[in-house]
């Protein structure tokens, strides 16, 4: 089949330099949600995207999306585009796509600003268009019953309940506006009729545009069956026109993510205070406290506990790890049974083996820490290889940057580093070595020895200065009795 995604609109009400379909929802552009659903619905179909406003930016996004997903979505590289230079209605947009369509198969029309449409709904719609035994292919229309149908086109039916037309709200009279059955815009069209229908569209309406919905009346006239179905969830059909609608849909998306996590055995302290802006994969008995944000691809193995107000981005966390409050993990690999935080920062390239402890106000960047090593407070470890059972004291810093280049520090197994120590890279600390507190290490420290670098302590006579106090002027008693 053909899949056409209409994504040419500007979205003036967004008041943004970005095209509307590039606005983020749950960490991804709205258009990406639609693309991913299209591939799930019909894996062998490469979508055709109608672009217009912000076309270079949308085209660049599509190229990046194809490159990033060429393994899992093998047809992604075949995504094609067509330009709607002047945005003159949905019918006009589909007309631009017509030369690239296979007119012998049905055409599914989707919208880049209706991001939460579900694949199960679309599959059911496609089955309707395939027709039933003994009948021709039909036009399948996704509709919805809404308590408040404001802003949507209304479904017109005859006395027999058959769809006869769609009237856009701006063209509807008062009686028609009272109808609560609305058109979502999503439909499957019999492509063999498309060229004739689209060429026959007129702009005699309140918007002065070519409405795709006008093909419904043409289908009725041509005797093409029209079948309707509703979405599995009403929120699947919600479109976005402004930032308020985007924010409302964000909450719906997050509620659905939370519901899925709960149903898969994840404990959430408060499902309403969770934000997943990418893909979160969890094992059994994971607990997530309030205010946590997950970005990119994050995996939490069984038994992980995440404290309040943590941010995890593109990170893998092993079994039974405890991440305490206000910790930030970005691009990290965390082994089993680690303890992180509170207030820890684990930066890209950090790789922690099993049973590593990273405490408050400790930063780890592009470093490997071996099993059972600890940096419990106020330390920075960057561009380092740290062995097993190493203790890194408070205030320790690996001085990895000389102002131009980064250099590596190597700390072998069973090293004890005293507090307030600076390791000026490139430098190596041998196995079992001890660095005394306050040491500035500029040369390699030998294994199994104590290395200390301090100035000699001296005591001298000393008189602490006293603060000078200005004498207060005495009040004159003259004139007083």
In SS3 terms, 138-202 reads as CEEEEEEECCCCCCCCEEEECCCCCEEEEECHHHCCHHHHCCCEEEEEEEEECHHHHHHHHHCCC
Helix axis angle for 30-41 and 119-129, nearest 10°, is 50
Confidence (pLDDT) at 78: 81
pLDDT > 70: what percent of the chain?
Answer: 95
Give the residue among 473, 78, 11, 14 at the shortest CA–CA distance from 243.
14
Given pLDDT bands bounded at 50, 70 and 90, which one contains residue 66? confident
Give the residue among 401, 360, 398, 361 at the shortest CA–CA distance from 381.
398
> Phi and psi for 371 in degrees, rounded to 5?
-55, 140
Least confident of 195-199, 371-375, 411-415, 472-476: 472-476
Q: For the whole model, what pTM was predicted?
A: 0.88
Confidence (pLDDT) at 218: 95
The domain segmentation of the chain, as residue ranges, is: 2-237, 243-451
Query: What's the whole-number average pLDDT of the chain?
Result: 93
Given pLDDT bands bounded at 50, 70 and 90, which one contains residue 180? very high
CATH number for 2-237 (one of 2.60.40.2470, 3.90.550.10, 1.10.10.350, 3.90.76.10): it is 3.90.550.10
Given pLDDT bands bounded at 50, 70 and 90, which one contains residue 467? confident
User: Which residues are CB-contacts of 391 (< 8 A; sequence separation ≥ 6)?
Assistant: 373, 374, 415, 416, 417
Out of 78-92, 119-133, 188-202, 346-360, give the one with best mean pLDDT. 346-360
Task: Quickly tell me which residue has 């694949």 as its tokens.
Answer: 119
Choosing from 328, 368, 377, 407, which is the catalytic residue?
Answer: 377
Establish whether 53 is a catalytic residue: no
Q: Does residue 340 contact residue 327 with C-beta atoms inside 8 Å?
A: yes
Confidence (pLDDT) at 423: 98
Confidence (pLDDT) at 77: 58
> Phi and psi for 178 in degrees, rounded to 5?
-75, -10
Burial status of residue 212 (CB atoms within 10 A of its CB: 0-12, 13-18, 19 or more): buried
Rounded Cα distance, 306 and 327, in Å: 9
Local structure of residue 282 (DSSP, 8 states): E
Question: 150 or 421: which carries more pLDDT confidence?
Answer: 421
For residue 168 the two structure tokens come to: 């856009």
For residue 286 the two structure tokens come to: 């994971």
Question: 381 or 77: which carries more pLDDT confidence?
Answer: 381
Given pLDDT bands bounded at 50, 70 and 90, which one contains residue 473? low
For residue 423 the two structure tokens come to: 């390791």
Class of the domain covering 243-451: mainly beta
Confidence (pLDDT) at 134: 43
Confidence (pLDDT) at 296: 96
Q: Does residue 54 contact residue 8 with C-beta atoms inside 8 Å?
A: no
Out of 60-74, 211-225, 307-321, 445-459, give the one with best mean pLDDT. 307-321
Maximal CA-CA distance, the chain: 122
Confidence (pLDDT) at 72: 64
For residue 17 the two structure tokens come to: 């330099």
Confidence (pLDDT) at 133: 44
Given pLDDT bands bounded at 50, 70 and 90, which one contains residue 76? low
Confidence (pLDDT) at 240: 94
Give the residue among 222, 231, 153 at the shortest CA–CA distance from 190.
222
20, 24, 30, 31 alpha-carbon torsion, rounded to 10°: 80
- Three-state DSSP class for 351? strand
pLDDT > 90: what percent of the chain?
Answer: 86
What tens digit of pLDDT does each residue of 189-219 get?
A: 999 999 999 999 999 888 899 999 999 999 9
Confidence (pLDDT) at 474: 53
Confidence (pLDDT) at 137: 80
Q: Are strands 48-51 and 181-189 parallel, antiparallel or unpaired?
A: unpaired
pLDDT(471) > 80: no
């Amino acid at each position: 089949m053909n899949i056409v995604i209409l994504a040419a609109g500007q979205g003036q009400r967004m008041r943004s330099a970005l095209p509307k379909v590039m606005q983020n929802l749950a960490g991804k552009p709205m258009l990406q949600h639609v693309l991913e659903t299209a591939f799930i619905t019909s894996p062998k179909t490469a979508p055709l995207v109608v672009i217009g406003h912000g076309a270079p930016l949308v085209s660049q996004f599509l190229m990046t999306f194809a490159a990033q997903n060429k393994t899992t979505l093998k047809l992604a590289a075949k995504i094609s585009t067509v330009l709607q230079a002047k945005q003159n209605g949905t019918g006009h947009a589909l007309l631009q796509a017509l030369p690239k369509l296979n007119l012998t198969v049905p055409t599914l029309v989707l919208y880049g600003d209706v991001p939460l449409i579900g694949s199960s709904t679309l599959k059911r719609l496609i089955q309707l268009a395939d027709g039933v035994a003994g009948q021709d292919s039909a036009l399948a229309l996704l509709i919805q019953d809404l308590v408040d149908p404001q802003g949507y086109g209304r479904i017109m039916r005859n006395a027999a309940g058959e769809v006869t037309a769609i009237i856009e709200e701006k063209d509807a009279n008062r009686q028609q506006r009272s109808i609560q059955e609305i058109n979502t815009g999503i439909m499957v069209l019999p492509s063999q009729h498309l060229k004739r229908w689209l060429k026959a569209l007129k702009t005699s309406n309140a918007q002065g545009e070519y409405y795709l919905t006008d093909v419904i009346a043409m289908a009725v006239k041509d005797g093409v069956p029209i079948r309707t179905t509703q979405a599995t969830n009403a929120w699947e059909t919600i479109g976005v026109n402004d930032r308020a609608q985007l924010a409302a849909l964000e909450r719906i998306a997050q509620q659905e993510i939370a519901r899925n996590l709960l149903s898969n055995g994840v404990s959430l302290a408060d499902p309403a205070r969770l934000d997943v802006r990418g893909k979160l994969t969890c094992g059994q008995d994971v607990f997530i406290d309030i205010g946590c944000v997950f970005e990119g691809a994050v995996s939490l193995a069984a038994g992980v506990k995440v404290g309040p107000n943590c941010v995890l981005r593109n990170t893998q966390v092993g079994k039974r790890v405890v991440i305490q409050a206000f910790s930030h993990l970005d691009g990290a690999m965390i082994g089993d049974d680690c303890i992180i935080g509170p207030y820890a920062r684990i930066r890209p390239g950090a790789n922690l083996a099993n049973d590593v402890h990273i405490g408050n106000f400790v930063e780890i960047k592009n470093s490997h820490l071996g099993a059972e090593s600890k940096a419990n407070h106020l330390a920075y470890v960057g561009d380092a290889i740290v062995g097993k059972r190493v203790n890194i004291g408070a205030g320790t810093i690996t001085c990895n940057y000389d102002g131009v280049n980064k250099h590596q520090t190597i700390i072998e197994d069973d090293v004890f580093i005293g507090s307030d120590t600076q390791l000026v890279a490139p430098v190596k600390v041998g196995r079992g070595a001890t660095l005394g507190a306050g040491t500035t290490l500029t040369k390699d420290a030998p294994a199994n020895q104590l290395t200390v670098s301090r100035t000699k302590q001296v005591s001298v006579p000393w008189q602490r200065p006293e603060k000078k106090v200005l004498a207060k002027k005495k009040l004159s008693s003259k004139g007083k009795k």
